[in-house]
């Protein structure tokens, strides 16, 4: 039993380390987006290789955990949720890298008025806060905190829904910066997907923790 608990803790620590790296990627993306720091954007692209390495390591660790320890009940739910969260985190890092590529490939600084009008900065802030809160929810096994991302995911969906109309307004107002407007629209589409991935992570946290709590209550009885 002690060996199993040690393996669970080691796997949890690996996932949290990857989570920290993904959050750093998002934080750097926000800075590079606000300051048009192309060097920082290229750093984000390079760091993506480390995230991919983490994903492969955790995938193998989960496969070994299942094959060698043959977990059941809450232990099996833990490793299955960890495996899926790992995939979602890697996809979020991919999105951050995609946004960084827009920044590093753009010749001129993006008009701040376009960003503000289309509310891309608000979407980026919401996305980062969701990923950070989910890490805390996972660490503390707090399903209430995990559920808070659903409302914010809906906000991202609503902002994404009106983005095309706001893009048309920007195309009319800033005809010489059409490419910038289209870039910002592409970034908004990517940020909406961060919300989807975050919602998936929340579901996995709830799947593991709620079932674990139910099991413990039954044992107490």
Query: Percentage of the chain surpassing pLDDT 90?
Result: 80
**pLDDT higher than 80, residue 112:** yes
Length of the chain: 221
Cα torsion through 33, 38, 39, 40, rounded to 10: 10
**pLDDT higher than 50, residue 219:** no
What pLDDT is stored for residue 192 in this prediction?
Answer: 97
pLDDT (tens digit, 9 = 90+) per residue, 17-73? 999 999 999 999 999 999 999 999 999 999 999 999 999 999 999 999 999 888 788
Q: In this structure, are residues 179 and 187 in contact, taking their beta carbons and an 8 Å threshold?
A: no
**pLDDT higher than 80, residue 126:** yes
For residue 3, name the pLDDT band (cuts at 50, 70, 90): confident
Higher pLDDT among residues 10 and 1, named by residue: 10
The pLDDT of 194-219, averaged and rounded, is: 79
Tokens, residue 18: 């990857």
The pLDDT of 185-199, averaged and rounded, is: 96
Segments making up each domain of the chain, as ranges = 2-220
Strands annotated E in the chain: none
Long-range (24+ apart) CB contacts under 8 A made by 124-130 are: 124/29, 124/30, 124/33, 124/187, 124/191, 125/30, 126/152, 126/155, 126/156, 126/195, 127/26, 127/156, 127/191, 127/194, 127/195, 127/198, 128/23, 128/26, 128/27, 128/30, 130/194, 130/195, 130/198
The pLDDT of 88-98, averaged and rounded, is: 96
The pLDDT of 110-134, averaged and rounded, is: 96
What pLDDT is stored for residue 30 in this prediction?
Answer: 95
**pLDDT higher than 50, residue 221:** no
The pLDDT of 106-117, averaged and rounded, is: 89
For residue 185, name the pLDDT band (cuts at 50, 70, 90): very high
For residue 212, name the pLDDT band (cuts at 50, 70, 90): low
**pLDDT higher than 60, residue 147:** yes
Answer CATH for 2-220 from 3.40.50.1820, 3.40.1080.10, 1.20.58.220, 3.40.50.10680: 1.20.58.220
How far is residue 35's CA from residue 124's CA, in Å, rounded to a whole number? 14
């Amino acid at each position: 039993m002690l060996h199993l608990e040690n393996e669970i803790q080691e796997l949890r620590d690996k996932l949290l380390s990857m989570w920290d790296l993904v959050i750093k990627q998002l934080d750097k993306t926000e800075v590079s987006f606000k300051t048009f720091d192309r060097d920082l954007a290229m750093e984000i692209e390079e760091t993506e290789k480390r995230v991919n390495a983490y994903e492969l390591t955790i995938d193998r660790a989960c496969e070994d955990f299942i094959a060698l320890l043959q977990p059941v009940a809450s232990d099996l739910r833990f490793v299955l949720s960890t495996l899926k969260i790992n995939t979602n985190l890697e996809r979020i890092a991919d999105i951050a890298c995609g946004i960084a590529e827009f920044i590093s490939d753009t010749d001129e600084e993006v008009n701040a008025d376009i960003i503000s009008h289309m509310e891309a900065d608000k979407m980026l802030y919401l996305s980062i806060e969701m990923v950070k809160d989910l890490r805390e929810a996972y660490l503390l096994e707090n399903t209430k905190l995990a559920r808070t991302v659903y409302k914010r995911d809906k906000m991202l969906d609503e902002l994404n829904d009106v983005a095309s109309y706001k893009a048309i307004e920007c195309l009319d107002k800033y005809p010489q910066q059409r490419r910038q407007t289209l870039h910002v629209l592409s970034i908004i589409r990517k940020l909406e997907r961060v919300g989807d991935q975050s919602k998936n992570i929340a579901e996995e946290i709830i799947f593991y923790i709620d079932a674990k709590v139910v099991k413990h209550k039954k044992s107490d009885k």
